[in-house]
Amino acid sequence: MTWPMGIVVRNKAKLVAKGYSQIEGIDYDETYAPVARLKAIRIFLAYAAHKNIIVHQMDVKSEILQGDLHEVVYLQQPPRFEDLSHPNHVYRLNKDVYGLKQSPRAWYETLSNFLVKSGYRRRTIDPTFFV
C-alpha cells in the first residue's frame, strides 16, 4: 500500500504460538520469567550512588528476542499459510517463538550466557543481577 505522499506502508507479521494450549508435563516442563527483585535494584542504586557511577536504563522487548530451545517443539501450520502439497506437516522449531511457555526461560538463558561470556558475573543476591 502506498500513501499519497509516496510513503510505502508494509504490514509486518510474526509467528505466534498458541501457548495457552500447551499442557505442563507434556508440552513443557518448566517456565521461568526473569524478574529483578526490588531489593537487588535498591542495592544496585545505593552502590552506584556511593561510587558515583552513572546509571543508564534500557528496556528490552522480550517478545522479539529468540533463545535456543533445548527440547523438541513442533508447531502446526498457521491458518491461511498451510502448505497445500503437505497439509499434515508441522514445523520443528530451533528457536523459541512468542507465545511458547518456554520462551522467557530460553531467551533469558541466551542473554545470561552472553553476559557471562562477556565478563559479567552473576551476583548471589539476585540471579538476574550481573556486575
Give the tens place of pLDDT for each residue, 89-106: 888 887 777 767 777 777
The reported pTM is 0.58
| Through-space distance between the first and last CA atoms of the chain, rounded to whole angstroms | 47
Instruction: Give the cell for residue 46.
Output: 545505593
| pLDDT tens figures, 37-93 | 788 888 889 989 999 999 988 776 655 567 777 778 888 887 777 888 888 888 888
Nearest Cα neighbor of 69 from 108, 103, 35 is 103
Q: Are the CB atoms for 92 and 73 separated by under 8 Å?
A: yes
Of 31, 28, 29, 44, the residue nearest 128 (C-alpha)? 44
Q: Is 130 in contact with 123 (CB distance < 8 Å)? A: yes
